[in-house]
Amino acid sequence: MDVEFASGWLLLILSLPTASTAARMRVWRGLKALGCMALRDGAYLLPASAPHEEALKAVAEDCQREGGATWLMAVQARDAGEEAAYRQLFDRTDDYAELRKGWKAAAGTLKKLSANELVRLQRRLTKEFEAQRAIDFFPADASAEAEAAWSEFSRRLQALISPDEPHQAAGGIARLDAAKYQGRTWATRRRLWVDRVASAWLIRRFIDPAARFKWLAKPADCPRSALGFDFDGAAFTHVGERVSFETLLASFGLEEDAALMRLAAMVHHLDVGGTPVPEAAGFEAVMAGARERLDDDDALLAEMSAVLDSLYAHFQRRKPE
């Protein structure tokens, strides 16, 4: 994890009334989520950083509201050996090993799970892995090994969630005239997921307002007269590092729209990974929930189009970072 740490460490010492069982559990969970290491009962260490200091102050204030006492101190290691010992406390090797053990166990169950169960599993395991990475302040070999294992497991999981996911195609992207693509039939794989639903929304909203969609059981079912997207051999699919949504943006000259580019970053992250986008987790949760509720892809597109309309309006109001 890339974190800017100041020199030194933060030490929070706290005590709570023995009767405050619920408060103790709440405080303990908060400290665990922050990645604190316990030096002893009631003494918790974190690398010094402004966000960590603010978070520990919040924990201290919670303790004080419950009638407890707290002391938040900045401390320095006396020498290199002590500094190394402090860092060693934050070794996450065992935590990563536990995650990988869980992935291995989950891998044996994947073929028995429904599509919705696979999506829920993916969401839960992704959340667990990202939470672990967030508190891995001094990444080492275990972090890199876990990253590689997660990438392999995640690809296998995604392949089951979205069969026939397209591979990257080489070559450039030709600029097209949208006027020549009006009133067409567009086709993609059924049981829409992020890239496909966003691409369909983009087509109808910005490229071909009269577009009709055909949802394919398999790519080979695509009619010759239809414009395919997001499968191997489709007219619009993954090209280089671009996902299908980004390919459509480039094809029809829509990359000057800053709000669409922010949407593209979200779709890219959810489809193939990369730089996290704050809105991605919320969109993925809404998409997964809608997918569970709605078996009809036309209904799913209609519902998620409203969400994408709202996100687009949100991004239009936001200033570029």
Q: What is the mean pLDDT of residues 179-195?
A: 95
Q: Is the pLDDT of residue 193 over 80?
A: yes
Tell me the C-alpha distance between 148 and 259, whole Å.
33
Residue 105, CB-side half-sphere exposure with 13 Å CA sphere:
8
What b-and-e string marks burial along 5-44, b requiring 16 or more CB atoms within 10 Å of the CB? eeeebbbbebebeeeeeebbeebeebbeebbbbeeeeeeb
**CB of 230 within 8 A of CB of 196?**
yes
Q: What is the mean pLDDT of residues 278-288?
A: 91
Q: What is the mean pLDDT of residues 8-33?
A: 91
- Is the dihedral angle over the CA atoms 132, 137, 138, 139 positive or is it negative? positive
Longest CA–CA separation in the chain, Å: 74
Tell me the C-alpha distance between 169 and 275, whole Å.
21
Which CATH code for domain 9-89? 3.30.70.240
pLDDT band at 154 (very low <50, low <70, confident <90, very high): confident
* Helix/strand/coil for 70: strand
Tell me the C-alpha distance between 11 and 74, whole Å.
6
pLDDT band at 118 (very low <50, low <70, confident <90, very high): confident
Query: What radius of gyration, in Å, describes the C-alpha atoms of the chain?
Result: 24
pLDDT of 281? 87
pLDDT of 143? 93
pLDDT band at 273 (very low <50, low <70, confident <90, very high): confident
pLDDT of 155? 78
**CB of 153 within 8 A of CB of 100?**
no
pLDDT band at 167 (very low <50, low <70, confident <90, very high): low
CA 143 distance to own-chain centroid: 18
Q: What is the mean pLDDT of residues 57-79?
A: 94
Lowest mean pLDDT among 2-16, 71-85, 161-175, 206-220: 161-175
pLDDT of 321? 54
pLDDT of 18? 80
Helical (H) or strand (E) element with 213: strand 212-216
Q: What is the pLDDT of residues 43-58, one digit of tens each?
A: 999 999 999 999 999 9
Whole-number average pLDDT of the chain = 91
Q: What is the mean pLDDT of residues 114-141?
A: 89
Q: What is the mean pLDDT of residues 11-16?
A: 95
Question: For the chain, what percent of residues have pLDDT higher than 90?
Answer: 73
Q: For residue 303, with 0-12 CB atoms within 10 Å meaning exposed, 13-18 middle and 19 or more buried, which class applies? A: middle
- Is the dihedral angle over the CA atoms 48, 50, 51, 52 positive or is it negative? positive
DSSP type of residue 191:
S
pLDDT of 1? 47
Q: Is the pLDDT of residue 221 over 60?
A: yes
Q: Is the pLDDT of residue 241 over 70?
A: yes
Amino acid at 317: R
pLDDT of 86? 94
Q: Is the pLDDT of residue 2 over 50?
A: no
- Dump the DSSP string for 93-104: HHHHHHHHHHHH
